[in-house]
Amino acid sequence: MGNAWRFASRHGVDVLIVGTALASAVGVLARDDPQRPTGVALWLEAVAVALLVLLLLARRRFPFGAPAAMWLFSAALSFLDGQLIANRTGLFLTGMGAALLLGNLRRDVEARVGLVIAVGGAAVVVYNIPGHGSDDLIFTPALFGMSWLVGYALRERAVQTEVAEERASRAEREREIAARVAVAEERGRIARELHDVVAHAMSVMVLQVGAVRHRMPDGDAEVRETLKEVEQTGRTALAEMRRLLNAMRHDDESLELEPQPGLHDLETLVAHVQAAGLPVRLEVEGEPVTLPPGLDLSAYRIVQEGLTNSLKHSGATQAEVQVRYRPRELELEVRDDGPGGAGRAGRAGGAGGAGGAGRAVGDAAIAHDGGSESGLGHGLVGIRERVKIYGGQMSAGASRAGGYVLRARFPLDGAGR
């Protein structure tokens, strides 16, 4: 059944054209009017009529030439036999189809020329009918002109559909490009933030190696030389990291000298949000543990993003932040009572571009919410990238109880102490 449907949709019109050609040829052979030719002339007319109809089989390769030729040859044959084209139902339907195809042409010049050919050809055929009336010279060509108008209207609708599809496709491509750009920017921002964490740890290591080297007895020259090489390697690595950071920083970005924030700064963050006009309740469950600096920073940024989203986009009257310390897991949840529309998450800005913990959240939101102002708005991109780095999970969306909820979970795997 499926194969039959596919065949009918692909070749159904061609089968109909061939059937119409055969029926028209048989109709010519069965003529009984006084002008009916005999012998070879009759067979030639039957073949000519069949070929007229079969011309439309070439409509895909010659969208203008095939239907135009059908009408031109019809007009020419009507001079040889006035009754040959008239009174043939198959040829009438073929003429209507040819006029429709001419009106459906994409190029306006070809379509308008096709209108002249169809209407003019119909007028010639009617004029060559013996005993034709003046009304026939008007209404019959007008009927084919209406068929042309139907084809023209269908063309306009098809063009509008194609334009709409192209716009949708272009918008989708732009969204994909914007998403890739946002991911790249967020990864760069995260890398710049984590640079401070890694650089601090390496600096401590270099200082400790240097202290140990200076305390070594003079007799351990080989060990002192090894420690010196380790210290120099560490300093070289720090210098290269600074160059890498400068390469990743945008031209208009200034160097961040403030210490990176962490979950211990949430009370300050909540206070700034409340000062900006959104009441927030902070709840901490479990015994806080010392987290790796990078994880601590990412957890803070996620809460910051959630509160910024609630403050700027939700229309919420209150929000709640929950931090849960589990034996092997850290859970974060930011909830508000706003509408929780589907577009909120897309309008939130990136969480990573704010400064240190001491900044007011309003200024921080503006600093890192440039995406929403420019229309890119990929706030969840930053959260997703941060969660992915540490093998966590996240979800964001409207809550069944109302409002909007952002959740993130990080495995600790013994990292917290």
Question: Does residue 416 form part of some domain?
Answer: no
Q: What is the pLDDT along the chain (417 residues), one digit of tens a residue?
A: 566 667 666 777 888 888 888 988 888 888 777 777 788 888 898 898 899 889 999 988 999 999 999 999 999 988 888 788 877 788 888 999 999 999 999 888 999 999 999 999 999 999 988 877 888 888 999 999 999 999 999 988 888 888 888 899 999 988 888 878 877 777 777 777 777 677 767 777 888 888 887 777 776 777 878 888 888 888 888 787 777 766 666 555 554 545 678 899 999 999 999 988 889 999 999 988 888 888 898 899 899 988 988 888 777 889 999 999 998 899 999 999 887 544 454 444 444 433 333 333 333 332 333 333 333 345 677 788 888 888 899 988 888 877 889 999 999 875 544
Angle at 114 between CA 123 and CA 146, to 5 degrees: 65
Are 294 and 317 in a shared domain? yes
CA distance 354 to 2: 59
Question: Does residue 187 form part of some domain?
Answer: yes
Question: Does residue 417 form part of some domain?
Answer: no
Are 198 and 158 in a shared domain? no
End residue of a domain, out of 193, 216, 248: 248
Burial label, 170 (beta-carbon count in 10 A; 0-12, 13-18, 19+): exposed
Question: Does residue 307 form part of some domain?
Answer: yes
Are 139 and 31 in a shared domain? yes
Are 352 and 293 in a shared domain? yes
Are 150 and 12 in a shared domain? yes
End residue of a domain, out of 168, 187, 215: 168
Torsion of CA 189, 195, 198, 203, to 10 degrees: -160
Residue 287, token pair as written in the block:
């015994």
Distances from the Cα of 164 to the Cαs of 108, 158, 193, in angstroms? Answer: 20, 10, 43
| Sign of the C-alpha dihedral computed for residues 34, 37, 42 and 47 taken in this order | negative
Are 124 and 222 in a shared domain? no
- Residue pair 404/380 in contact by the 8 Å Cβ criterion: no
CA distance 292 to 309: 26
Instruction: Match 């108008």 to its residue by tokens.
Output: 149
What per-residue confidence (pLDDT) applies to 411? 92
What per-residue confidence (pLDDT) applies to 249? 63
Are 210 and 268 in a shared domain? no
Question: Does residue 254 form part of some domain?
Answer: no
Which domain covers residue 268, as residue numbers? 263-411
What per-residue confidence (pLDDT) applies to 86? 78
CA distance 360 to 227: 44
CA distance 410 to 239: 32
Are 196 and 288 in a shared domain? no
Question: Does residue 257 form part of some domain?
Answer: no
Specify the CATH number for the domain of residue 298. Answer: 3.30.565.10
What per-residue confidence (pLDDT) applies to 316? 84
CA distance 206 to 227: 10
- Is 0.85 topped by the overall pTM? no
Question: Does residue 223 form part of some domain?
Answer: yes
Are 287 and 228 in a shared domain? no
Task: Tell me 337's DSSP state.
Answer: -
Are 183 and 154 in a shared domain? no
User: Whose CA is closest to 128, among 72, 81, 74?
Assistant: 81
End residue of a domain, out of 125, 150, 168: 168
92-118 in b/e burial notation, b at 16+ Cβ within 10 A?
bbbbbbbbbbbbbbeeeeebeebbebb
- Residue pair 106/88 in contact by the 8 Å Cβ criterion: no
Are 33 and 132 in a shared domain? yes
What per-residue confidence (pLDDT) applies to 227? 83
Domain count, the chain: 3
Task: Tell me 336's DSSP state.
Answer: E
Question: Does residue 258 form part of some domain?
Answer: no
List, edge to edge, every strand of the sheet that includes 280-285: 280-285, 319-325, 329-336, 404-411, 393-398
Are 162 and 185 in a shared domain? no
The two beta strands, 329-336 and 280-285, are: unpaired
Distances from the Cα of 223 to the Cαs of 209, 217, 404, in angstroms? Answer: 11, 10, 59
Residue 43: HSE in the Cβ half-sphere, 13 Å Cα cutoff: 2
